[in-house]
């Protein structure tokens, strides 16, 4: 279906197409003709959706801020999960993980050699020397915010502390390389370059994702790539940057019993930070971190 110059724009602004997204669409078409993978309208958010996702991101950041002081030696991870669920509901939101494709808890807590999707458990108590990722996703008025942070418990080895810090730097470098009318490959290249330069590897099979109207939307966001490759980034896209950085080999496997937990194959530690970002007219905006 072709949209006429004088028809209403697809973005819901109420303006005529020619006065709204027509030149924007032509610019995208130009890239497409030059061989770029380009985003479809379904993943370019309207102003109203951006407002909703921004609020969901803000609430998700509040949940991470709330739980931060409790991520200490001796904390029971199932209790942390209950606290996160209760606080999320208290601020008028819903934990997105709970029941998502059968996931049993409200948050993912991934310790040491767990790469991601660790399930909180009564049996796991945070101990001195652990590095732990807390990954929260919050639904607010139907919109989604998703982010994760690392924490160091007590006396963490210099090696593990460095992994945690470099992984955060990977996200910061990735973010700096993320811009409107650039590509996901620009971001991935910067991210992987920093990991590699520090002797680390990035997990290939699992990545970030479009996020906001749904939990996991297009595009899939890899963190290994080449500049100028991968999907074109345009204003209105919202997605996560969430590299999983391994101290050793990049290989991972899934726990056959619980069907969720992802471990490093070599048993060495892995770290991850996750930001939810919006592509704006002139840069990026962090919606949750
Ligand atoms: N929050 C994770 C992500 O960053 C997804 C967790 S899905 C769950 O995409 F079901 F394990 F919670
Ligand atoms: Co997440
Ligand atoms: Co995510």
Tens-digit pLDDT profile for residues 234-274: 999 999 999 999 999 999 999 999 999 999 999 999 999 99
Closest CA to 233 of 17, 12, 31, 19: 31
Please tell me the distance from the alpha carbon of residue 276 to that of residue 59, in angstroms, as a whole number. 12
Please tell me the distance from the alpha carbon of residue 222 to that of residue 198, in angstroms, as a whole number. 19
For residue 41, pLDDT over 90 is answered with yes
60 lines ligand 1 (CB under 6 A): no
242 lines ligand 1 (CB under 6 A): yes
For residue 20, pLDDT over 90 is answered with yes
Confidence grade of residue 144 (pLDDT, cut at 50, 70, 90):
very high
Over residues 113-117, mean pLDDT: 98
Please give the radius of gyration of the chain, using alpha carbons only, rounded to the nearest integer: 20
Q: Tell me if 79 sits within 8 A of 109, measured CB to CB.
A: no
Closest CA to 151 of 140, 138, 167: 167
Please tell me the distance from the alpha carbon of residue 249 to that of residue 252, in angstroms, as a whole number. 9
173 lines ligand 1 (CB under 6 A): no
For residue 2, pLDDT over 90 is answered with no
Structure tokens at 201: 């590897």
Residue 135 CA to ligand 2 centre (angstroms): 5
Over residues 96-119, mean pLDDT: 98
What does the mean pLDDT of the chain come to?
98
Over residues 214-228, mean pLDDT: 98
For residue 19, pLDDT over 70 is answered with yes
For residue 44, pLDDT over 80 is answered with yes
Over residues 98-114, mean pLDDT: 98
Residue 69 CA to ligand 1 centre (angstroms): 22
Which protein residues have their CB within 5 A of the ion that is ligand 2? 135, 146, 274
Residue 136 CA to ligand 2 centre (angstroms): 6
Residue 173 CA to ligand 1 centre (angstroms): 23
217 lines ligand 1 (CB under 6 A): no
Residue 1: the pLDDT is 66
Residue 100 alpha carbon, nearest atom of ligand 1: 10
For residue 67, pLDDT over 80 is answered with yes
Residue 233: the pLDDT is 98
135 lines ligand 1 (CB under 6 A): yes
For residue 123, pLDDT over 90 is answered with yes
96 lines ligand 1 (CB under 6 A): no
Distance of CA 208 to the CA centre of its chain: 5
Please tell me the distance from the alpha carbon of residue 272 to that of residue 201, in angstroms, as a whole number. 12
């Amino acid at each position: 279906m072709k949209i006429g110059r004088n028809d209403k724009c697809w973005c819901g602004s109420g303006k005529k197409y020619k006065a709204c997204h027509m030149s924007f669409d032509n610019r995208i078409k130009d890239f497409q003709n030059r061989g770029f993978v380009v985003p479809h309208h379904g993943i370019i958010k309207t102003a109203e959706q951006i407002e909703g996702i921004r609020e969901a991101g803000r609430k998700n950041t509040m949940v991470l801020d709330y739980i931060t002081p409790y991520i200490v030696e001796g904390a029971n991870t199932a209790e942390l999960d209950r606290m996160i669920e209760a606080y999320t509901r208290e601020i008028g939101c819903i934990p997105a993980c709970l029941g998502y494709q059968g996931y049993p808890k409200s948050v993912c807590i991934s310790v040491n050699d767990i790469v991601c999707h660790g399930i909180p458990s009564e049996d796991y108590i945070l101990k001195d020397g652990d590095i732990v990722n807390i990954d929260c996703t919050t639904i607010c008025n139907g919109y989604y915010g998703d982010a994760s942070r690392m924490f160091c418990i007590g006396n963490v080895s210099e090696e593990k502390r460095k992994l945690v810090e470099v992984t955060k730097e990977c996200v910061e470098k990735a973010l700096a390389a993320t811009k409107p009318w650039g590509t996901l490959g620009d971001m991935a290249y910067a991210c992987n370059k920093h990991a590699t330069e520090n002797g680390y590897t990035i997990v290939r099979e699992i990545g970030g994702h479009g996020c906001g109207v749904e939990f996991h939307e297009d595009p899939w966001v890899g963190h290994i790539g080449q500049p100028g490759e991968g999907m074109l980034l345009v204003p209105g896209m919202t997605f996560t940057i969430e590299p999983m950085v391994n101290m050793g080999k990049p290989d991972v496997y899934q726990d056959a019993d619980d069907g969720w937990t992802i471990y490093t194959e070599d048993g060495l530690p892995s770290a991850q930070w996750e930001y939810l970002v919006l592509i704006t007219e002139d840069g990026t905006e962090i919606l949750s971190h």
